[in-house]
Structure 1
Amino acid sequence: MSFTVAIVGRPNVGKSTLFNRLVGKKLALVDDTPGVTRDRRPGDAKLLDLKFIIIDTAGLEEAGPDTLEGRMRAQTEAAVAEADLTLFVVDAKFGLTPLDKTFGELLRRSGKPVVLVANKSEAKGSDGGFYDAYTLGLGEPVPISAEHGGGMLDLRDAIVEAIGEEVAFPEAEDVAETDIDLPPSLPGDGEDDEAEPEYDETKPLRVAIIGRPNAGKSTLINRFLGEDRLLTGPEAGITRDSISVEWEWRGRTIKMFDTAGMRKKARVQEKLEKLSVADALRSIRFAETVVIVFDATIPFEKQDLQLVDLVIREGRAAVLAFNKWDLVEDTQAVLADLREKTERLLPQARGIRAVPIAGQTGYGLDKLMQSIIDTDKVWNKRISTARLNRWLDGTQAQHPPPAVSGRRLKLKYMTQVKARPPAFMISCTRPESLPESYVRYLTNGLRADFDIPGVPIRIHFKASENPFEGRKRKR
């Protein structure tokens, strides 16, 4: 990308709608409620022939630095300082307010290029607000409709004029044919079945951080980054959008998703909270490893267990993080109790890695990251067919499948059909009659014998073909 653009303005002028329009996706939450956006969210924007990084920000408000609104304003100011150009959005339909004039003055003094954008210009009676925007002293306003896509050509021309063509259109570097990174082949695509591919320690890793409200998710990510990148505070439910941040850990690119706290479904009534939870669920589906943050002072609430179960059902690799460990007094006794409860309350994720951490002080973060990497290795694990069938023969010899209706079931053949998470197919007779208890026996045996702790294991059963099926019996 050639340059960075920040979208600023008072609450409810259409900043997130414009952000979604420029990135071409509904990434940012949009609602009629003022102040929906709180953190700054980056995205890859495209406007006709322009490509740049766009940053959505919280609505500018006048408030003290210790208040939530004050901390939101600090995030917006950080985005303006980071950007090469600022889009100052005003509401042409509603007209100018004293807040618009105050922040227009601040932007004029910043010395950064500013493009004044008059949004909602398609509305009836918006001419008055459009002409009032001239009084801000930021040049000619660009009339647009972020919701309907009107005025995008004029906005493109205004951005190029403000930032300069040499910045807007940097010369493309010639890329040699050998420099192009080809996508890796998917597991099982033409590779030797007996080969067990090594884990790629260099590939980027997508990690989602989820948990109940006020469990310390944003504080944890800020500690990883070493800066106040995400909005935090004592108030519950500060995070609304799922914000992605990138950083490096021991030379490996990590993309982390901060998500909104998820309460019990019965308590989620407001439309905005429903949108936030839906955004968090989307982050879980796109992540590879999911860290479920527990509050160590009140762990294993029903909602915590439901979140772990959700991650396992989605097929993601899961790691538990017991946050606020610095508030625990008798650490040894509490740790032993947590380990016992983890094994007892989460049988579907036997062997799941659990790490005590403190997001405020940074305690345990390296151990947490190592647990994330180790769990991702298990999640990507592949086992050769020969080893699986030797294991299946030995397992059946030790504990044969039960007889159903006087006929014993036979497990004939086994292979791994996919990884991420590990999934296996077993060819057998009468798969519909195989008891659930024997399926659990096979799953636990795979975990123990092939070292697959804490990740979902899928076993599919397929009836073996009968070569004589359909033939008429000869007398």
Structure 2
Amino acid sequence: MGKPVVVIVGRPNVGKSTLFNRLVGKGVAIVEAEPGVTRDRLYREVEWCGCEFVLVDTGGVVESPSDPLEAAIRRQVEQALAEADLVLLVLDYRAGITSEDREIAFLVRRIGKPVVLVVNKVDTFDPPPALSEFYALGLGAEPVPVSAAQGLNIGDLLDAIVAHFPSGAAVGAEEEAVTVALVGRPNVGKSSLVNAILGEERVIVSEIPGTTRDAVDTPFTWKGRPYLLIDTAGLRRRSRIEAESERQSAWRARRALRRAHAAVLVLDAVEGVTLQDKRIAGLIEEAGRAVVVAVNKWDLVPPQQKDPSRYLAALRQELYFINYAPVVFTVATARRGVQQLLGEIERAVANTRRRVRDQELSEVLQEAQLRNPPPRLKDKRLRIYQAYQVAVGPLVFLLRVNDPELMTLHYRKYLENQLRAAFDFTGTPIRFVLRRHKERREKNV
């Protein structure tokens, strides 16, 4: 990644995610009293005293994992430790050292990476907390007492972290990563698709709905360009959301969509387009993000229904309001369709940043009006005098007209289709902003 990687590890409920949020400076990871809320690795960049590093939150490690999910979390932690430059082993001051702490310390010793012992949940520093028992872990690290919840002694912890890195660890300007959010209903294969793109088990995949809870950011490079994949929790109807952690997951998924450059709407090929899929597509359209539709699990579609052209026609009819989105048929478990998907994402992002010269724009709109004049309303006809592109991501065009109220939805869609026919706007929404033109300055487009 270019920057030092600092990985937070520990058993469940010692305050890892609270510490992660405190160091990052905002509530990124879901925090609950219930153990096991964090499952996948979460990455965020942190800067302290001119030194930049990547902070990684991980799930809680338990002794002798008893179910597949616990085993998957442990694998995620071991993978994070393998890429770490520094490990923050978080301990609970109130509970002291447990057998699980000793097992995690053994894992850390085995990889031979530098360690900072973080003794969390210290409520007061007067008198100073007694930390002698934590030396018994034999890691040769000085314990740093903190209260992540109250923000106590966090500055000292950050000093201890950056002391492990050379002064030149600060990195200069880098190319902005293209941020892509994968969104969809639970169990449509979003996490499997992320792993297929990365070529590794980066996020936990399970048949249990709700396995992904946080919005998991994963940086990677494709064709020499930096990307950031966001695997989000499955979005269910609000009426079906019960647990607080699921509400937080849904909120984070929507926030991920807002901070993304593009979205991949992942559908289940067998189930087809559902009402909830339409709602999620509406969220993408409302956010104005470039969009690609991934029809996943294509291998499970019965042979008699496996006609891509007919399937695509039906899908376009259901998702007519984002009919500009390219559609890719994928099989995430076999990595089929992944390269095509990445190509369409690249194309959609490029299109949402496309600029059109005023003269070209005016010529297309003038020709469109001549070919199909606007309808008359109240004995008046819409006239477009001037047109400018005023924004990208999404594309926004300002039209100066005689009366904005004369623009019908039908004619607005007609103008959008004419622009799409003239320019490659595949994968990106188009917005029109209408302003009344002063009569004394009227000019034809």
Q: TM-score, normalised by structure 1?
A: 0.84
Report SS of the residue matched to 1:424: strand
Aligned partner of 2:318 in structure 1 is 345
Per-residue deviation, 1:394: 2.2
Report SS of the residue matched to 1:238: coil
238-247 or 404-413: which moved more?
Answer: 404-413
143-152 or 327-336: which moved more?
Answer: 327-336
Report SS of the residue matched to 1:223: helix
Per-residue deviation, 1:210: 1.1
Contact 2:63 2:103 in 1 (8 A): no
224-233 or 98-107: which moved more?
Answer: 98-107
* 1:229 is the counterpart of 2:230: no
Once the two structures are superposed, the pairs formed by residues 221-300 of structure 1 within 5 Å of their partners are 221-300=194-273
1:346 maps to amino acid: L
Quote the Cα distance in structure 2 between the aligned partners of 1:47 and 1:381.
36
Contact 1:62 1:70 in 2 (8 A): no
Aligned partner of 2:108 in structure 1 is 107
Give the number of equivalent residue pairs. Answer: 439
Q: Aligned in 2, Cα 1:105/1:129: closer, same or farther, shift over 3 Å?
A: farther
Per-residue deviation, 1:294: 0.7
Deviation string 1:176-205 (CA, Å, 9 cap, x unpaired) is xxxx8699xxxxxxxxxxxxxxxxxxx742
2:122 maps to amino acid: S
* 1:441 is the counterpart of 2:414: yes
Quote the Cα distance in structure 2 between the aligned partners of 1:2 and 1:407.
62
Report SS of the residue matched to 1:360: helix
* 1:310 is the counterpart of 2:283: yes
Aligned partner of 2:434 in structure 1 is 461
Report SS of the residue matched to 2:90: strand
Deviation string 1:279-322 (CA, Å, 9 cap, x unpaired) is 11111111111111111111201111111111111110111101
Aligned partner of 1:44 in structure 2 is 45
Quote the Cα distance in structure 2 between the aligned partners of 1:40 and 1:121.
26
Quote the Cα distance in structure 2 between the aligned partners of 1:464 and 1:128.
71
* 1:365 is the counterpart of 2:367: no
1:208 maps to amino acid: A
282-291 or 58-67: which moved more?
Answer: 58-67
Q: Aligned in 2, Cα 1:233/1:377: closer, same or farther, shift over 3 Å?
A: same
Gaps of 5+ in 2: none
Per-residue deviation, 1:49: 6.0
Aligned partner of 1:168 in structure 2 is 165
Deviation string 1:49-73 (CA, Å, 9 cap, x unpaired) is 6543322110111244861011101
Contact 2:51 2:169 in 1 (8 A): no
Per-residue deviation, 1:217: 1.2
Aligned partner of 2:14 in structure 1 is 13
Report SS of the residue matched to 1:363: coil
275-284 or 327-336: which moved more?
Answer: 327-336
Per-residue deviation, 1:354: 0.6
Per-residue deviation, 1:108: 4.1
Report SS of the residue matched to 1:62: coil
Report SS of the residue matched to 2:248: helix
Contact 2:401 2:437 in 1 (8 A): yes
Aligned partner of 1:408 in structure 2 is 381
306-315 or 116-125: which moved more?
Answer: 116-125
Deviation string 1:202-229 (CA, Å, 9 cap, x unpaired) is x742211111111111111112211111
Quote the Cα distance in structure 2 between the aligned partners of 1:457 and 1:302.
24
Quote the Cα distance in structure 1 between the aligned partners of 2:186 and 2:169.
45
Quote the Cα distance in structure 2 between the aligned partners of 1:320 and 1:449.
23
Quote the Cα distance in structure 2 between the aligned partners of 1:379 and 1:401.
27
Contact 2:122 2:129 in 1 (8 A): no
Deviation string 1:227-252 (CA, Å, 9 cap, x unpaired) is 11111122221111112222222222
Gaps of 5+ in 1: 184-202, 469-475
Deviation string 1:74-111 (CA, Å, 9 cap, x unpaired) is 11122222213322211113444332233334434543
Per-residue deviation, 1:43: 2.2
Q: Aligned in 2, Cα 1:126/1:317: closer, same or farther, shift over 3 Å?
A: farther
Aligned partner of 1:147 in structure 2 is 149
Deviation string 1:25-48 (CA, Å, 9 cap, x unpaired) is 322222222211111122223445
Q: Aligned in 2, Cα 1:288/1:110: closer, same or farther, shift over 3 Å?
A: closer
Contact 2:3 2:169 in 1 (8 A): no
261-270 or 128-137: which moved more?
Answer: 128-137
Q: Aligned in 2, Cα 1:366/1:172: closer, same or farther, shift over 3 Å?
A: closer
Quote the Cα distance in structure 2 between the aligned partners of 1:56 and 1:455.
33
Contact 1:118 1:141 in 2 (8 A): yes
2:314 maps to amino acid: K
Contact 2:9 2:89 in 1 (8 A): yes
Aligned partner of 1:472 in structure 2 is none
1:112 maps to amino acid: K
State, as a whole percentage, how many aligned pairs show the same letter.
39
Bigger Cα Rg = 1
328-337 or 120-129: which moved more?
Answer: 120-129
14-23 or 57-66: which moved more?
Answer: 57-66
Report SS of the residue matched to 1:168: coil
Contact 2:391 2:397 in 1 (8 A): yes
Q: Aligned in 2, Cα 1:459/1:39: closer, same or farther, shift over 3 Å?
A: same
Contact 1:96 1:129 in 2 (8 A): no
Contact 1:92 1:126 in 2 (8 A): no
Aligned partner of 1:80 in structure 2 is 81
CA RMSD of aligned residues (A): 2.8
Quote the Cα distance in structure 1 between the aligned partners of 2:285 and 2:20.
33
